[in-house]
Amino acid sequence: MSEDFQILLYYLYRKLENPQDYVEEHRALCESLGLRGRILIGAEGINGTVSGTREATDRYQETLRNDPRTSGITFKIDPATGHVFPKLIVKLRPEIVTFGLGEADVDPNVRTGKRLSPAEWLEAMHGENVVVIDGRNRYESDLGRFKGAVCPEIDNFRDFPGWLEGHAEELRGRKILTYCTGGIRCEKLSAYLLDQGFEDVSQLEGGIVTYGKDPATQGRDFEGLCYVFDQRIGVEVNFTDTRKVVSHCEKCGEPCARYRNCSCKSCNRKHFLCETCEETKGRVCSPECEAVIAAIAQVEPTA
Catalytic center residues: 180
CB-wise, 189 or 256, nearer to Zn ion? 256
C-beta closer to Zn ion: residue 36 or 271: 271
DSSP string, 31-75: HHHT-EEEEEEETTEEEEEEEEEHHHHHHHHHHHHHSTTTTT-EE
- CB of 161 or CB of 282, closer to Zn ion: 282
257 lines the binding site for Zn ion (CB under 5 A) = no
User: Nearest distance from residue 142's CB to Zn ion, in Å?
Assistant: 15
Interface with Zn ion, residue 252, by CB under 5 A: yes
Among 267, 270, 283, 290, interactor with Zn ion by CB under 5 A: 267
Minimal distance, residue 134 CB to Zn ion, in Å:
24
Q: Looking at beta carbons only, is 73 or 267 nearer to Zn ion?
A: 267
Q: Which stretch binds Zn ion (CB under 5 A): 77-85, 143-151, 185-193, 270-278?
A: 270-278
Among 106, 186, 194, 249, binds Zn ion (CB under 5 A): 249
Q: What are the Cα distances from residue 32, in Å, to 22, 36, 92, 116?
A: 15, 11, 19, 37
Q: At what angle do helices 160-171 and 184-195 cross, to 10 degrees?
A: 60
Question: Which residues are CB-neighbours of 198 under 8 A, at least 6 positions away?
Answer: 171, 172, 176
The answer to the question of residue 262 lying near Zn ion (CB under 5 A) is yes
Distance CA 276, CA 261 (A): 16
Q: How far apart are CA 51 and CA 36, in angstroms?
A: 5
Half-sphere exposure of 85 (CA within 13 A, CB side): 22
Residue 254 CB, shortest distance to Zn ion, in Å, is 5
CA–CA dist 180, 195 (Å, integer): 19
| Nearest-angstrom CA–CA distance, 225 and 42 | 30
CB closer to Zn ion out of 233 and 285? 285
Minimum Å distance from CB 253 to Zn ion? 7
Q: How far is the CB of 137 from Zn ion (least distance, A)?
A: 18
Residues, the chain, total? 303
Q: Interface with Zn ion includes 264 (CB under 5 A)? A: yes
x/- letters, 180..219, toward Zn ion (CB under 5 A): ----------------------------------------
Q: Is the CB of residue 274 less than 8 Å from the CB of residue 250?
A: no
Binding site for Zn ion (CB under 5 A): 249, 251-252, 262, 264, 267, 269, 274, 277, 285, 289
